[in-house]
Amino acid sequence: MARPDRVSPEEQQRSALRAAFELADLTLEQLWLRYFALGGSADLMDVDAHLSGLMPLPSTQRDMLAHAVNERLDELMAQRRAPYSRTIRLGPPSTGPLAALVGMLGAAGSAPPERLPALAAAAGRKLGVDISVLLIDHEQRSLVRLPTEGEPTAELLGLDSTMAGRAFRTVQIRSSDRAERPRLWVPVLDGADRLGVMEVGLSSPADVHDPGLRQQCTWLAGMLGHLIASMEFYGDELERPRRNQPLAPSAELIWQQLPPLTAATDTFVLAGMLEPSYHVGGDAFDYAISEKTVSLGIFDAVGHGIGAGLMATAALAGYRSARRDARGVFDQSRAIDDVISASFSSSAFVTGVLAEVDVGSGRLRYVNAGHPAPLLLRQGRVVKELTGGRRVPFGLGSEGLTVGEEVLEPGDWLALYTDGITEARDAAGAWFGEARLLDFLTRAISAGQPPPETVRRLTESVLTYQGGRLQDGATVLLARWTRADPTEPPAG
């Protein structure tokens, strides 16, 4: 007796899909529109032919069709459920993306910082994927894979030579569908601040193109970013792997005072960086963003080492005290004068720029205390140096204090920097100079680089120009302003 031909898994899936489609109360055109919205690439006739058993479709396209039908069946089921007299709230989920997020969040509350990679891996298992965590190092040149029990040694991955680095630089999911190791690399952000990348190991190359899985991994990476930012203050084990050498005491002091390197709203993007990151002394920056106002400050204290670090920290304290008391740049400037003159010798001083932007109108008010003039960039080129608001450095008195004003246009960039940028010297003694700085910014903006990546590349370029060893701190703070568009996502 001849054995009947076995039905292939593909044919079983097609038959079940056809049966489900008939229950879904959809026309063929409605099904195709839902499928197309999920990223489906087959045309209407191909979908019809597949449902009729006349032609096969790739597994990823079959799964998108199934997802489109299942979404409709879920809608119908919800419509036909018996009503309750009140809202019945569900208990904790046991599977799926919500279970992964809730489980990681709940466990993190009683876990030491170094357990976070294991918590992320456990969350990944609820999604059916393998997860490891990579954080950016202090210089923003490499990603560091955080050690786990199975792999106790941290691993470095270059930003310019790996898919993980590309995901970090572009803030976009990158993928590889190689059969032996299909992977996703998902950026890990705290708000807009780039912290690292989440590497996601997949069980099948087909999962690389699953839009639902990508979305779930993005949620998990977002939760991971917030947990990293909050838990790193409770211990050293998230910080230690990011260091390729010890921080000098002055650098330790300054880094603890800085805000996140990047922040963004729907109207503003800010990004800053310090070099040499392990030996910075008197350089610092700060900002504050709100619905109506964005405040910026950059400082360069005279001297080097811990003395300059203490002076820069005092300037930050005076600035923040006045700013948080809702005082404008004029009074902020005087507050910094008071703390420097009262705390240090008569010859001590700090140069700096304080700026305040009215988000609604673009009106900029600023004070420049003996510091390099900020640059205003418009439509990809430098249009002027902001030479107003001049006064002597902080700590040397406030005589002649004035406030400069400018009106920004949507899309304008502001560049605040310390003289360590332009005064970096190559082996022949030639300065990096303002012309090279202007050229770099013009090319970066024209190439569409966002402020965080522009800042990273600029500081790396300055460091390379001086052979990897800066004689003075080089700090930059970039800001880009746009008017809010309610139809657009937040700027990034």
User: Which amino acid type is present at position 99?
Assistant: A
pLDDT at residue number 491: 46
Examine residue 208 and state whether it is found in any structural domain, yes or no: yes
pLDDT band of residue 38 (cuts 50, 70, 90) is confident
Query: 335-389, pLDDT tens digit by residue?
Result: 999 999 999 988 899 999 999 999 989 999 999 999 999 999 998 888 999 999 9
Last residue of a domain, one of 187, 212, 234: 234
In a domain, 84, yes or no: no
pLDDT tens, position by position, 186-235: 999 999 999 999 999 999 888 998 888 999 999 999 999 999 999 999 99
> Could you tell me if 34 and 179 lie in one domain?
no
Confidence of residue 275 (pLDDT cuts 50, 70, 90): confident
Output the CA–CA distances (angstroms, integers) from residue 315 to 248, 309, 343, 394, in the order listed: 20, 10, 10, 8
- Within this chain, do residues 190 and 257 fall inside the same structural domain, yes or no? no
Residues β-bridged to residue 142: 158
Ramachandran category for residue 130: left, alpha or beta (phi over 0 → left; psi -120 to 50 → alpha): beta
* Cα angle value 159/236/141 (rounded, 5°): 15
406 & 273 share domain:
yes
Instruction: pLDDT band for 150, please (50, 70, 90 cuts).
Output: low
This prediction has a pTM of 0.81
pLDDT at 256 over 50: yes
Average confidence score pLDDT of the chain: 89
Domain termination residue (choose one: 206, 234, 262): 234
Whether residue 153 sits in one domain with residue 63: no
Identify the domain containing residue 216 by its residue range: 96-234
83 within a domain of the structure (yes/no): no
Residues 174, 259 share a domain: no
pLDDT of residue 486: 46
- Residue-wise pLDDT tens digits, 287-299: 999 999 999 999 9
Structure tokens at 278: 């392990």
Percentage, residues of the chain above pLDDT 90: 57
CATH at residue 405: 3.60.40.10
More confident residue, 359 or 177: 359
Residue 86 lies in a domain: no
Q: What is the pLDDT of residue 1?
A: 47
pLDDT digits (tens, 9 = 90+) for 97-148: 888 999 999 999 899 999 999 999 999 999 999 999 999 998 899 999 998 7
207 lies in some domain: yes
Both 271 and 209 in one domain: the answer is no
Sign of CA pseudo-dihedral 38, 42, 44, 50: negative
Q: CA-to-CA distance for 22 and 16, rounded, in angstroms? A: 10
Question: Which has the higher per-residue pLDDT, 179 or 239?
Answer: 239
**What are the two backbone dihedrals, phi and then psi, of residue 28, each rounded to the nearest 5 degrees?**
-60, -40
Residue 79, pLDDT score: 75
Are 340 and 349 a contacting pair, CB within 8 Å?
A: yes
Residues 38, 40, 45, 51: is their CA dihedral positive or negative?
negative
293 and 202 in a common domain: no
- Count of domains in the chain? 3
The answer, yes or no, to whether residue 487 has pLDDT greater than 70, is no
Please indicate, yes or no, whether residues 148 and 208 belong to a single structural domain of this protein.
yes
Residues 368 and 422 in one domain: yes
Residue 108 lies in a domain: yes
> Do 276 and 399 fall into the same domain?
yes
pLDDT-based confidence at residue 463 (cuts at 50, 70, 90): confident
Burial 21-42 (b: 16+ CB within 10 A, else e): beebebeeeebbebbbebebeb
Kindly write down the DSSP assignment for every residue of 259-293, as one continuous string: --SEEE-SSEEEEEEEESTTT--SEEEEEEE-SSE
Structure token pair of residue 288? 């504050």
Distance CA 463, CA 279 (A): 13
Task: Decide which of 165 and 12 is more confident.
Answer: 165
* Mean pLDDT value of segment 69-95: 79
Looking at the fold, whether 364 and 251 belong to one and the same domain comes out as yes
| CATH number, domain containing residue 114 | 3.30.450.40
The mean per-residue pLDDT over the stretch 26-46 comes to: 90
> 49 near 68, Cβ under 8 Å?
no
Phi, psi dihedral angles at 272 (to 5 degrees): -140, 165
Rg of the chain on CA atoms, in Å: 28
Pick the closest to residue 129 from 191, 219, 196, 39 (CA basis): 219
Instruction: List Cβ<8 Å contacts ≥24 apart for 158-165.
Output: 164/134, 164/197, 164/199
Q: Is the pLDDT of residue 485 over 60?
A: no
| Burial state string for 75-111 with b = 16 or more CB within 10 A and e = fewer than 16 | eeeeeeeeeeeeeeeeeeeeeebeebbbbbeebbeeb
Last residue of a domain, one of 207, 234, 261: 234
pLDDT at 406: 95
Question: Has residue 47 got a pLDDT over 70?
Answer: yes
Top-confidence residue, 208 or 82: 208
72 shares its domain with 215: no
Is residue 4 domain-resident? no
Q: What is the mean pLDDT of residues 427-437?
A: 82
pLDDT band, very low/low/confident/very high, at 9 (cuts 50, 70, 90) = confident
**Does 380 fall in a domain?**
yes
Is pLDDT above 90 for 83? no
